[in-house]
Amino acid sequence: MIFKSFEHQSHTGRALAAIVLIAMLSGCSFFSASTKPKPAELQSVSAVVSAKQAWTSRVGPVNFPLDIHVSGTTVLVAGSDGTVAAIDASTGVDVWRTNVGSAIAAGVGSDGQIAAVVTQSNQVVAIQGGREIWRQKLNAQVYTSPFVAGGRVFVLAADRSVNAFDGQTGRKLWTQQRPNEPLVLRQSGVILAVGDTLVVGLAGRLAGLNPANGSVRWEAPIASPRGVNDVERLVDLVGRVSRQGDIVCARAFQASIGCVNTARGNLLWSKPANGSQGIHGDDRFLFGTESDGVVQAWRRADGERAWSTDSLRYRSLTAPLVVGRSIAVGDFAGFVHLLSREDGSFLNRLTTDGSAIAAAPALAGNTLIAVTRNGGVFGFAPD
């Protein structure tokens, strides 16, 4: 059970208020309008893997780093206008829907009972059954969805602080503050549980924290700062990640990918990679989308390249999702592409509303979920 050994302990440390310069680098291009590369034209695709649109729903437009959260057959999504919705993945019908009364900056996290988002006014808001149960002010901006587990809500902020709150009351339990960097990404970071350890991305390192008090158990560097200016030295870890047992693999922004044994707290391997979106994987391969739109597969065991395809070059791809024999990636034109896990060949292409896919696709049961910038929520199911 995740965090079975949690104890309710308070921490006397106080979060440091920090002035954080935000790097607007998430999914950006360093080309001018006149020299920006032309996106690859899409070729016709035979539907080797069958899928059809099963339902559609809506939230408000999505202009923040959304994480689609799946809890059983329920999908939790949010819109920038403050809407938070729990949707039955099999039917597309709302389980509940509410509005937190403020624009959302990060979300959604949930343990199946409590859902949490963070507003642009730096408030973490907890919701249960569609009803707000508490909110607490934070000292820094947040771009990573809260992580909810063990009756607690954990928040990774842009100043690289981690805050823990009691899930039912909102009482702050502890704060762990790490050294600040001049720039951080306006993009989802890394926070998850492995056994009784809270695993967090702090700059280019994975760190294992004691969830009871926030103390650091271990740190493992996936990337180290390099270059001569702050932008070149930015190596934040970005979500999503790929986990197999105790092994967690993650991407450092435009620097590398690597795998860490979280039971021992040691780096297994790290390889150069130039991407800004997270990765996903299976027991053999890791999959990622590079900044130029090349879809890449690496061997999980040692990080050596297995295959790549440039068929979606410069199409502003999301992080991938492993689903059946495919990997699913979204693009700037609202398409969800299904590629073969074996060689990257096209297996199908799914359409939404024509606006960019706003978050890495998610899987709820047999339903593939996609959310667009215009707020469309789409459920696709096998034929």
Which residues does residue 199 pair with via DSSP β-bridges, in sequence order?
Answer: 192, 208
Confidence at residue 7, expressed as pLDDT on a 0 to 100 scale: 37
DSSP state of 189: -
Section 34-55 average pLDDT: 90
d(CA 355, CA 258): 32
Flag whether pLDDT at 13 surpasses 60. Answer: no
d(CA 140, CA 158): 6
Flag whether pLDDT at 310 surpasses 70. Answer: yes
92-114 tens-digit pLDDT: 999 999 999 999 999 999 999 99
Flag whether pLDDT at 309 surpasses 70. Answer: yes
Confidence at residue 34, expressed as pLDDT on a 0 to 100 scale: 57
Section 47-71 average pLDDT: 95
Section 40-53 average pLDDT: 92
Tokens, residue 221: 């560097």
> How many residues belong to the chain?
383
Confidence at residue 237, expressed as pLDDT on a 0 to 100 scale: 95
Answer with the residue of higher pLDDT: 75 or 7. Answer: 75
CB 303 within 8 A of CB 277: no
Which residues does residue 63 pair with via DSSP β-bridges, in sequence order?
Answer: none
d(CA 313, CA 220): 32
- CA distance to 109, 113, 221, 331, 349, per residue, from 86 (Å): 11, 11, 36, 24, 26
Strands 247-252 and 237-244: antiparallel
Q: Which residue has the tokens 């709302």?
A: 94
d(CA 341, CA 347): 10
Section 31-53 average pLDDT: 84
Confidence at residue 36, expressed as pLDDT on a 0 to 100 scale: 82
φ/ψ (deg, to 5) at 148: -115, 120
Flag whether pLDDT at 308 surpasses 70. Answer: yes
Confidence at residue 296, expressed as pLDDT on a 0 to 100 scale: 98
For the sheet containing 237-244, what is the strand order? 237-244, 247-252, 256-261, 266-272
CB 256 within 8 A of CB 272: yes
Confidence at residue 230, expressed as pLDDT on a 0 to 100 scale: 66
CB 165 within 8 A of CB 124: yes
252-270 tens-digit pLDDT: 999 999 999 999 999 999 9
| Of 30-44, 115-129, 234-248, the least confident | 30-44
Close Cβ partners of 96 (under 8 Å, ≥ 6 residues apart): 85, 86, 129, 130
Flag whether pLDDT at 154 surpasses 90. Answer: yes
Tokens, residue 92: 């597309």
- CA distance to 12, 81, 115, 214, 365, per residue, from 9 (Å): 10, 35, 22, 10, 36
Strands 21-23 and 183-185: parallel
275-286 tens-digit pLDDT: 999 999 999 999
d(CA 310, CA 38): 13
Helix, strand, coil percentages (3-state) for the chain, rounded to 5, are 0, 50, 50
Tokens, residue 158: 């842009």
Answer with the residue of higher pLDDT: 125 or 34. Answer: 125
DSSP one-letter string for 276-307: SS-EEE-SSEEEEE-TTS-EEEEETTT--EEE
Task: Give the pLDDT band (50/70/90) at residue 235.
Answer: confident
Confidence at residue 252, expressed as pLDDT on a 0 to 100 scale: 95
- The overall average pLDDT reported for the chain is 90
Flag whether pLDDT at 28 surpasses 90. Answer: no
